[in-house]
Amino acid sequence: MNDSLISFVNSGIENLQPYEPGRSIEEVVADYNPEKIVKLASNENPLGPSPKAKKILESLNESLSLYPSSDATSLKTKIAKFESVNNNQIIIGNGSNEVLELAARAFLNNSSSAVMSKHAFAVYKILTQACGSKVIEVPMINWTHNLQQFNDYCEDKTRIIFVANPNNPTGTFNSHSDFRDMMLEIPQSILVVLDLAYYEYVEAEDYIRTNELLDEFDNILITKTFSKIQGLASLRIGYGIGSKELCSVINKIRQPFNVNQLAQLAAIEAIDDIDHIKQSRDLNSIERDRMMAALESVGMECIKSQGNFISFKGDFNSEEMFLSLMKLGVIVRPIDNYEMLGYLRMTIGTPEENDYFFNHFKKLL
């Protein structure tokens, strides 16, 4: 490509820090070839996918040559029932990231701004900058979104507020009433994207009641994913729920066939596989408490998490610790890129995976 073309790249992209994914198992094998690998870097489900979803995947061989349902009609019907909304209030995405991206593309441009917390999920900043829009960051309080302040940070040109609840990478959550108070304060002309990727893991009281928010506010888009508790991260599927008008606008820029058929079928099975969801939630709850206590017992400062991960820091260099653990086959995540210097984030794995991590970690301290 010649230089003159590159000089026309949308403003914002030049200084954009691209998303840094966790190291993959393949990469770690290629670099270090450890005896065993425990991947605790990307907040996946250690129990894997719903067994019901796995079964349906096996039956698909015959129709691989056909395009998927462009509108994901059957899946939408299932989600609509599950979420007690209408089909036309749903957008299906190639991961919930795609829904976030569609919302950003629909509303952000170089004469707008988007508001989010400092230390919020990295994708919000990337999308905002990619649309040429200004990023406005609100400082957190105790690693938690300071929702009371959000309205003060909004400008006339603010078009989107992004809130992950619980937030990644802090794991902290905001109550339904705090969120609703923010909704009441901000102008209706701002779209609030409420990202509930870790919704099912939350045990705190007064957590978000999605239907009440959808009934009361038209300027809200709630996103959920099948990548976390449903354990379908590799299939890339998620969804957004909002008003009929909002979904109709955002759906206009969705590519046809954006979600493959395997993902649609697996999601239909996984969404109400209550046994798998309960088992995953229970495992996470017990192991999250156990790992938090273990980390604290060796002097770590942990951020109390409602998600399937814990961010913590201690008397170590996070980049060095990350590399030392990786050489031993344990993949966690340094989160310096979130301006959380010295912190590591571990995903809650199976008891055996967590022990493997912790036993190595202790020795490296």
Ligand X SMILES: Cc1ncc(COP(=O)(O)O)c(C=O)c1O
The contact set with ligand X (CB under 6 A) reads: 43, 95-97, 121, 164, 168, 195, 197, 225, 227, 233, 238
Q: Which is nearer to ligand X, 195 or 273 (CB)?
A: 195
Q: Which is nearer to ligand X, 133 or 230 (CB)?
A: 230
- Least separation in angstroms between residue 168's CB and ligand X is 3
- Least separation in angstroms between residue 65's CB and ligand X is 27
Q: Which is nearer to ligand X, 199 or 294 (CB)?
A: 199
Q: Measured between alpha carbons, how far is residue 321 from residues 65, 126, 222, 270, 296 in Å?
A: 46, 27, 36, 36, 17
- Least separation in angstroms between residue 96's CB and ligand X is 3
At how many degrees (to 10) do helices 261-270 and 73-83 cross?
20
Distance CA 73, CA 80 (A): 10
Q: Which is nearer to ligand X, 197 or 295 (CB)?
A: 197
Instruction: Identify the residue whose tokens are 């156990």.
Output: 290
Distance CA 290, CA 228 (A): 20
**Each residue of 146-179: b (16+ CB within 10 Å) or e?**
bbeebbebbeeebbbbbbbbbbbbbbbbbebebb
Q: Which residues pair with 241 in a beta bridge?
A: 90, 222
Q: Which is nearer to ligand X, 159 or 224 (CB)?
A: 224
Q: Which residues pair with 116 in a beta bridge?
A: 137
- Least separation in angstroms between residue 255's CB and ligand X is 15
- Least separation in angstroms between residue 355's CB and ligand X is 24
- Least separation in angstroms between residue 204's CB and ligand X is 16
Q: Half-sphere exposure of residue 295, counting CA atoms within 13 Å on the CB side?
A: 25
Q: Which is nearer to ligand X, 97 or 133 (CB)?
A: 97
* Residue number of the CB atom closest to ligand X: 95
